[in-house]
Amino acid sequence: MASVKQLQCPNCGSSLSQYNPTSQTIVCKSCHSYIAVGMGEPSVLTQGGKLDIGLPAKPVKVGQIGIFSEVKCIVLGRVEYEGWDSEDRWRWTEWLLGAQDGRMFWLSYDKEDGFVLFHKTRIKGQFNPLSDRAIPVGDKLMAAVRERYPAKIRGAEGELTWQAKAGDQLRMVEAALGGKHYSMQVATDEIELYEGVPLDEHKVAEAFGDKKWAAKAKANQGRQFIMSYAGMFALAFAVFSLILAAAFWSSGDSMLKQTVTLDSATPAVVIPLDLQTVNRPVRISTKLEGSIPVNTYAEVDVSVTDPTDTDTDIFTNEFWYETGSDSDGPWSEKDYSGGGKFVPTTKGVHQIEVALGEKSASVGSVKVTIEVYRNYVETIWFLIYGGLNAVIGLVLMAMAHPRQAGDLLSAIFDD
């Protein structure tokens, strides 16, 4: 693809090669001035200084040839952008590609989205870039807006299709639909919409014929694939652990069930329990029979004395019944059940004491059913194991899919 015009930099006199006849800006390689072209003689938009955009994020260079959309393209220019919000700043790179058949593309790259190949398209209806939640992109097709933010040009090189210079500001509107990306650039005097498709990095490297880069990108993609599946595997184990925890939450074989009445005359009852299995959790449940007066409470303390006369407090269960009224109307809540567990370390008869604790003055007596279960499966380990797997899985999935993780966190915190 040959140069169509040779120009001279009006600032330093160096030669400027213009490949695209519709370009409006060329950045001089020698003095880094931004030169306006395409309208009479070249003129200086801004005088050059130090080129502060640094090396490109990926090994794509101005003048390089690649095959995109089945046509040979030349990299005409590069723009480095910076966006920001109230919490963060980020950068991304866009390369202008001129196709042999006259089409123009933008190859975009950022750390979250990776590579996206954009082409200019039309907005298919009315759209307010400041507030509308979806961009009309086709017949009854609306791309959901996922973010809006201000941005600026940090620097550029090569050719651009509009008059631009470092420091120029714009607003970005990002949307998505059906696997396609939509990027809208809102400047003072115009609005442009671009439709893009994601590209795997190794495909971009192959398009430019860079075998070393393609091999490295494939290896990175392989690691991402492994992290993704390892994350899903860990999340599956987490879900399975939580299912087991739920299944065993009320596990155990009932070995004793007794109803006792506690009042000021009989504040405590002792129930003998013969246990011949040690170091296995024993679960005790309590349930209030009947009811207590409105807006009152009563506590029941459960303890155990083992055959060696060692006393252990197991749990305190508070039964309560409350009512009231708020903006939604009257409400009524009660809690008439509870429980706990202990692990016997000695075989023999254990004494389970059920005692009436603090209570409202209007509560005379409470009738409580005590049920004891042996062979209880401890669920805390399932919860711990599930929680650890969930954290590991989420971290691996976030590393494998940073953009989706960022979108999810934004949605959570926005709500």
The per-residue pLDDT for range 30-43, each reduced to its tens digit, is 999 999 998 888 99
Residues 232-260, buried b or exposed e (16+ Cβ, 10 A)? eebbebbeebbebbeeeeeebeeeeeeeb
Q: Is the pLDDT of residue 220 over 70?
A: yes
Average pLDDT of span 320-324: 94
Contact 170, 86 (CB under 8 A): no
Whole-angstrom CA distances from 241 to 67, 200, 235, 309 are: 49, 35, 10, 38
Cβ atoms of 93 and 79 within 8 Å: the answer is yes
Q: How do the domains of the chain map onto residue ranges?
A: 5-209, 220-248+379-415, 253-378
pLDDT of residue 1 exceeding 70? no
Q: What average pLDDT does the chain have?
A: 90
pLDDT digits (tens, 9 = 90+) for 44-99: 998 876 656 777 889 999 999 999 989 999 999 999 999 999 889 999 999 999 99
Q: Is the per-residue pLDDT at 245 higher than 90?
A: no
Distance separating alpha carbons of residues 80 and 152, to the nearest angstrom:
9
Lowest mean pLDDT among 166-170, 350-354, 403-407: 403-407
Cα(214)–Cα(204) distance, rounded to whole angstroms?
8
Nearest to residue 68, comparing CAs of 40, 98, 93? 98
Residue 139: CB partners within 8 Å, gap ≥ 6?
124
Structure tokens at 252: 């155990």
Distance of alpha carbon 270 from alpha carbon 352, whole angstroms: 5
**Token pair listed for 274:** 């013969």
End-to-end Cα distance, the chain? 52
Residue 93 near residue 75 (C-beta atoms within 8 A): no
Q: In Å, how far are 38, 109, 161 from 117, measured between CA atoms?
A: 26, 9, 17
Structure tokens at 25: 């800006």
Q: Is residue 149 within 8 Å of 170, Cβ to Cβ?
A: no
Q: Where are the alpha helices (DSSP H) in 8-141?
A: none
CB 6, CB 15: distance < 8 Å: yes
pLDDT score at 290: 93
- Which residues, in sequence order, are bridge partners of residue 191? 186
Strand partners, 67: 72
Per the listing, tokens 């030169």 go with 35
Confidence at 3, pLDDT banded by 50, 70, 90? low
Size of the chain in residues: 415
Return the pLDDT at 331. 94
Instruction: Provide CATH code, domain 253-378.
Output: 2.60.120.380
